[in-house]
Chain A
Amino acid sequence: MTIGIPRSMFYYYFNKKWKYFFDYLNINTIISPKTNREILDNGIKLSTDEMCLSLKSYIGHVDYLKDKCDYILIPRIDNYGRKEQTCTNFLAIYDIINNIFDIKILDYNIDLENNETELEGLLKLSKILKKTKSEIKKAYSYACTMEGKEKKKTIIDNMNKLSSTKTKILLIGHSYNLYDSLIGVPIIKYLEKLNCEIIYSDLFDYKSTKDIVSKYSKNLYWKYSKQNISSLKYIDKVDGIIFLSTFPCGLDSLVNELVFRKINKPYLNLILDDLGGIAGIETRIESFVDIFEY
């Protein structure tokens, strides 16, 4: 049995956990390649206009995998507790994919408000995966430990960058945008070319930065948005902030706007739609970085 994992959306939050989990259980996985033009174009063809660029890309990744595996892994995430919801897409992707493609989906729920934990969800897969519940439990706890260790390291690296002597740019965006090879990576590469130190909004210890969110809004209930803006705890240590989002992200359009009005730092708001070329983006980034040099 081979399980397909689209390299998009959930992948950027769960890839390590999934890797250790399936490796431990000795189950084959296939991950779609880094997003390329063909994947994105196929995704755009199969999606509707209202979907955000990231979701269109996700659909393209599923399209790539559809004939190459037995199941596609798609969790359905509602919330991580009260006021810790995810974007509706994270809840809806399962149904969207089910409607577009005729494929088998391996799905599980995360809905902590209704006591549906991640482990609970994975345990329900035991029949399909042909593993016993105790095997899954063991694999899950192994995956969590290993992921935790690696995460700690990346958090320390990210924190260390705050004391760099280069121009420090805090890059605020969703993980699935920041590390996508067509969305965030060209921007990151260009910033590195300009000799900037990039601090990532999603690589902080959310437990310790969480409190700062109420400074910007007391009513936000989107976990990943809250996590991103909680990085503003270190706003005094960076030179400038770049907000990166994909059109038409509902969460970002509200949350970023709230933040713009309350920060006193140079910031750049980049909203990407279908990506024709990087020239316009380069102009904006270069002139933004020039602020700190001239």
Chain B
Amino acid sequence: MIALALLACTPEPAVVQPDPVTPVLRPEPPAPPDMGLDTVGTVETPDAASPTREVRRMDIDQLDASIRSATGGIGWDVDGVSQLQELSASLGVPDFAQRTSEDLTAGLLFQKFLDDAANAVCDTLVERELAGTSNVLLGAAGPTDTRATNAAAVDAALAAALLRYHGRRVSPGDPQLDPWTLLFDSTLTVTGGDTMAAWRSVCIGLIVHPDFYQY
């Protein structure tokens, strides 16, 4: 108890105060160089074909869903059965018995059945578009509009289709739209002005184009 009492009464050691230090201010950062922010400069954009990863093909489930999404819900179905699912074993979809990974090469069978799918869904889509029961392809263009009669509407529809199918945003008049306007116009020419054939060609072309199924 006495020891505790002595300990309790031990005076605290004196606190040594540091010498007062004069604060040193950080130097001002150097003034940024004049970047000419008032003007827009040029940058070197990466080359799209630079040695980054190679494009890869979407799998069959993604393809089925993408076709339905792009066409406003039309799939390659026969009697209510998705043909892409029906052919899935031949298209390399794993069965998890003998095959556990999906073959994603865009080989002969894939191309054949993709083409069959595009023909089927685009025929249905264009029929609906021209009948006015669907409007995911023609936009403001009328069923008989051509680029000769209503270029603005047709070009706008083609630009919208390129965004819808390929995720590529272009403005009417952009050179990237040229292959599609050419496809539309040339199909019109060879079919004697059949706008349904022209829009169907565009739809098929958009689906069988690698930009649709490879990313």
A binds B: no
Chain A residues within 8 Å of B, Cβ to Cβ? none
B residues sitting closer than 8 Å to A (CB atoms) are none
